[in-house]
A and B are shown apart, each in its own frame.
Chain A
Amino acid sequence: MKETALREALNTSITGCRPSDYWKNHMVRQIVKGEKVKTGTKLSWNLILVIGLLLLSVTAYAVIQSVTLSPRVDAKVLANEALYEKYGLTPAMLGFFAQDAQGKDDHHWHVDYIPDEGLASRLGAYRVEITDNHVDKITWTNEGKSTQGGFDAEAWGPEQLEEMVNITGRTHDVNRFYRKIQGEDVNLYEGMDDPIPEETIALQENVSEEEAYREAMREQGKDAEARSRYSREELIEMGRQGIIDAYALSQDLQDRLRFCDEGVLIPYYYQTGADEIPAFKMTFEIGGNDGWKAGDGIYTIDINVLDGTVLDGFRKELEESGKDSKAQSGYTREELIELGHRGIIEAYGLNPEQQERLQFYDTSFFPAYYSTIGADKKPTYNMTFQSSGEGGWMEGDGVYTIIVNVLDGTVEYLDYDTTLDGNG
């Protein structure tokens, strides 16, 4: 199926729905008068699994690192990983704790995992201390206490937490654990044979699927690193050269090309494709404090760690389909980026501060590529610029898409979408 056919079918279905004026007016009257609007039954969620899913979602951002997170979220991601490494605590288990990240500054953080008061004596609290994105120390208030003997143990560690996830998922009852801790003679497994609620199955599947995906990615990464025939330093140099060659960077741009090794832009090993090719993904940045220049931006590159070749199947397909447009272009790539940058600034009237935050992106999620537009297939260069920066969301921040005609440099298409504040 062609992508355009899919888009058109979706558009026909969605825009072809036309409510009558009667229905619209009736709805407005109901809302304004505060009359009850007919709705379906709300679902009651398993809060603990939902918390676990949220924790997992935050952690999973570290796996595909194309989103810039705040330092607070970085710390939370690292802390989740650290607890998993040391104690085997999964996001579902951590759903019994409230997570709180406190930082002295952007470099020093501690992340606390605090259970509800009624469970605290057995579950204890965890703290992960982080400096410059490295875990310094992990502590557990029940360290040293015995966790043997199931739920009769003086401390409940990963074994008990896993069982709590299992029991709670089936029964939706956490109170039995409070009663147990208070000394009641309670059957913690009561109701385990009852049918599992559908919404719990769906949630458990979701969490299990996420956990399994995360674990699989972690194992893949370790395996890829073990199979690598190159050192990390060699791979970084290959990545740098790969970007220089792919984009024919000028000497000035080469000098400003900086390897990223912090926050969510840190490199990582993974495996890709049906053949499970082990690879190393890296991010480089061009940009400085002297104002935006053509070519400034974020670049990612993936290297096959067995033979050192550049992996970029998606980009290769784009390049193949856009090669005619590239051949016809009357501008260099840097000139097209400059046209795109200027086009956005002029079209949206960005002030100097907003211009400073505007950055060109050429990553696997935001690739820049040659293409065509319209029935007459004008050759174009499609670009994405993203505006963001320190101080949280500002007016003008968001993702800009601009398509420039490579024959005469005119702007064929512009789009702007705001993004949510990414701070946690």
Chain B
Amino acid sequence: MRKETLVPGSISEEELIRLVDTYSGILLGVCRLTLGDTAMAQDIVQETFLKAWRQGGFRQETEKAWLIRVAMNLCHDYHRSRWWKHIDRKTPADEIQIAEPDPAEQEILAMVKDLPLRERQIVILYFWNRMTLSDIAQMLGVSQSAVFRDLEKAKKRLKLELEGG
């Protein structure tokens, strides 16, 4: 059983450390998969935690949902600005360890990375984070019809077979 708890009010430095320790890995993973750029993913994760620190706590979302929402929307903003694609930035090898997927998974991830940004985000939120369509719509600030349509398009592109469970 899992129940997410709300964290009302301001956050302390200890709380920030706990959030960074708990979520920086998956946020990095989500942003890196969304953008295909590790260095930019690091920047976005930093900015996400900066917002958490400035926000002073979470209101009606779980901390995980809030962090992912902010990170996803920052990914969307950065993707549209395009400027970062022209900058050659490398991540020092000692900053992040990245587990290599096996060849079959690499093939799948390559297909995911070929999806348009919004479809990629929805695939991550729907299949990995197991969110409902209405929650995804609220998280990304788009209409549910847009989420539904993009998910269907992504499924077709990925040639996803429907499973019963």
Contact = CB atoms under 8 A, between A and B. Distances in A.
Interface in A2-60: 2-20, 22-24, 27-28, 30-32, 37-43, 56-58, 60
A40 B84 contact: yes
Interface in B114-165: 123-124, 127-128, 130-135, 137-138, 141-146, 148-149, 158-165
Contacts of B128: 7, 10-11, 14
Contacts of A370: 164
Interface in A351-376: 365-366, 369-373
A17 B2 contact: no
A321 interface: yes
Contact of B96 (A3, A20, A40): A20
A415 B130 contact: yes
Interface residues of A, number: 78
A42 B81 contact: yes
A384 to B, nearest CB: 8
28 contacts: A1-B158, A10-B123, A12-B101, A14-B124, A17-B25, A18-B98, A22-B94, A28-B13, A28-B20, A28-B49, A38-B43, A39-B46, A39-B47, A40-B81, A43-B77, A60-B144, A61-B143, A198-B80, A198-B82, A210-B146, A214-B145, A321-B164, A348-B3, A371-B165, A382-B165, A393-B60, A399-B132, A417-B62
B7 to A, nearest CB: 12
Interface size class on chain B is 35 or more
A67 interface: yes
Interface in B46-80: 46-47, 49-50, 53, 60-62, 65, 77-78, 80
Interface of A: 1-20, 22-24, 27-28, 30-32, 37-43, 56-58, 60-61, 63-64, 66-67, 198-199, 202, 210, 213-214, 217, 314, 317-318, 320-322, 347-348, 365-366, 369-373, 380, 382, 393, 399, 414-421
A199 B143 contact: no
B88 interface: no
A5 B160 CA distance: 10
Given A37-B50, A322-B165, A418-B60, 11 more contacts: A1-B108, A3-B163, A6-B123, A9-B104, A10-B109, A13-B33, A17-B96, A19-B24, A20-B94, A214-B145, A399-B132
Contacts of B20: 24, 27-28
B134 A6 contact: no
A40 B81 CA distance: 9
Given A10-B128, A31-B50, A42-B81, A17 B60 contact: no
Given A64-B145, A64-B148, A418-B4, A318 B105 contact: no
B96 A23 contact: yes
A37 B46 contact: yes
Contact of B26 (A17, A66, A214, A414): A17
Contacts of A322: 164-165
A27 B80 contact: no
Nearest to A416: B3
Nearest to B147: A64
A43 B25 CA distance: 26
B145 A63 contact: yes
A3 B144 contact: no
A32 B161 contact: no
Interface in B1-59: 1-4, 6, 13, 16-17, 20-21, 24-26, 28-30, 32-33, 40, 42-47, 49-50, 53
Contacts of B124: 10, 14
A19 B28 CA distance: 8
Contacts of A321: 163-165
Contacts of A372: 164-165
B135 A6 contact: no
A57 B160 contact: no
Given A14-B26, A43-B81, A9 B108 contact: yes
B132 A366 contact: yes
Contact of B95 (A22, A66, A414, A417): A22
A4 B60 CA distance: 31
Best-buried of A28, A320, A421 by chain B (most CB within 10 Å): A28
A31 B51 CA distance: 9
Nearest to A419: B135
Contacts of B62: 417-418
Nearest to B92: A23
A16 B98 contact: yes
A294 B136 CA distance: 29
Best-buried of B4, B21, B29, B45 by chain A (most CB within 10 Å): B29
A321 B161 CA distance: 12
B60 A417 contact: no
